[in-house]
Amino acid sequence: MLAGNTVLLLVAIAAAIILLSILLTLVPVMLWVSALAAGVKISIFTLVGMRLRRVIPSRVVNPLIKASKAGLDLSINQLESHYLAGGNVDRVVNALIAAHRANIELSFERAAAIDLAGRDVLEAVQMSVNPKVIETPFIAGVAMNGIEVKAKARITVRANIDRLVGGAGEETIVARVGEGIISTIGSSDHHKKVLENPDMISQTVLNKGLDSGTAFEILSIDIADVDIGKNIGAELQTEQAEADKNIAQAKAEERRAMAVANEQEMLARVQEMRAKVVEAEADVPRAMGEALRSGNIGVMDYLNIQNLSADTDMRGAIGDMTGKKKENEGK
């Protein structure tokens, strides 16, 4: 009998331990006690409801305790709804505390919207208190005299809380400042003016209102370094001259090819004319034979023609010999 009672007692103790474990798992008693100790009134049923809604109570209650200690008036429903929306509750509360300490007007709804938009709301508040410096790479522009000028700028920006949602980021600021630097250098008639007055670039760019539509407010634009690059004008002229030379050479080659073609065509025509002469000369003996047969000329006439032709050939030979002799004497 005693052994049976001992077994029942052990079973009861084990069941109580199991029930207590389940109860402690479902009900975060220690978190509830911590909230009460911090002066934050939270119902134990609210914590159980968080468990049932698959909300980690510590992710909501601890930021609420922090906010209450900092003097912020936030409700458990606000923090839980932001958690369920996928936001970072702790970061939003830290941003609200930082804004409260710096006397920056920032509501929970705006902070939650900034956080849900993917921006770091705490970093934005910190940037509002402590401005950030963005350094651009070397940006090259060409002055009117053809000299390339490279400039590097440091942009001091402060976050604009009101424009964080929907405002452009740092890349837009850098791109706009780079465009302004290139435009200012390009409007200078001589590169020495840019070297003598680099603040001309910063003042011109700053007056353009480049922070419009961005999440930042530009406080200053300072030219950190100015350097001289290539002589772009001379390079362009050299390339143009080289191109003109190549074009002239191509045209000259075209004219030479046309001249060679015309020369070959003329040679072909000469050969054609010579062939016609030979053909005509071949008809002469036949014509003379026909004239002899028909009695138009006699034998003596034919012999006289032969003598005349021989005399002409002899005179031509003598003339050639005389010409060569005179050339030799001239040498």
Portion of the chain with pLDDT greater than 70, in percent: 88
pLDDT value at residue 331: 58
CB atoms within 10 A of CB 48: 16
Query: Which of the two residues, 211 and 108, has the higher pLDDT score?
Result: 108
Q: Is residue 214 within 8 Å of residue 168, measured between CB atoms?
A: yes
Rounded distance between C-alpha atoms, residue 6 and residue 241, angstroms: 111
What average pLDDT score do residues 150-159 get?
A: 88
What average pLDDT score do residues 152-157 get?
A: 89
pLDDT value at residue 139: 86
> For residue 234, is pLDDT > 80?
no
What average pLDDT score do residues 161-188 get?
A: 84
Rounded distance between C-alpha atoms, residue 24 and residue 18, angstroms: 10
- Tokens read off for 94: 């830290």
Q: Is residue 52 within 8 Å of residue 79, measured between CB atoms?
A: no
End-to-end CA distance of the chain: 160
Rounded distance between C-alpha atoms, residue 32 and residue 51, angstroms: 13
Question: Tens of pLDDT along 8-54?
Answer: 666 666 666 665 565 556 566 777 778 888 888 888 778 878 877 88
Question: Tens of pLDDT along 302-330?
Answer: 777 777 777 777 877 787 777 666 666 66
Q: In a 3-state reduction of DSSP, which class is residue 132?
A: strand
Long-range contacts of 98-101 (CB under 8 A, 24+ apart): 98/122, 98/125, 98/126, 98/129, 99/125, 99/128, 99/161, 100/70, 100/71, 100/72, 101/70
pLDDT value at residue 303: 74
pLDDT value at residue 4: 57
Contacts for 170 with CB less than 8 Å, ≥ 6 apart: 134, 157, 216
pLDDT value at residue 92: 92
310, 311, 312, 314 from 322: Cα distances, Å: 18, 17, 15, 12
What average pLDDT score do residues 154-179 get?
A: 84
Helices (H), the chain: 2-26, 29-37, 44-52, 57-69, 76-84, 89-101, 108-116, 121-129, 170-186, 191-196, 199-206, 232-294, 299-330
What average pLDDT score do residues 205-222 get?
A: 82
Question: Tens of pLDDT along 70-128?
Answer: 888 888 889 889 988 999 999 999 999 988 888 888 889 988 998 888 888 888 888 88
198: confidence class by pLDDT, cuts 50, 70, 90: confident
> For residue 222, is pLDDT > 80?
yes
Q: In a 3-state reduction of DSSP, which class is residue 168?
A: strand
Dihedral sign, CA of 120, 161, 98, 95?
negative
Query: Which of the two residues, 238 and 96, has the higher pLDDT score?
Result: 96
pLDDT value at residue 2: 47
| pTM, two decimal places | 0.58
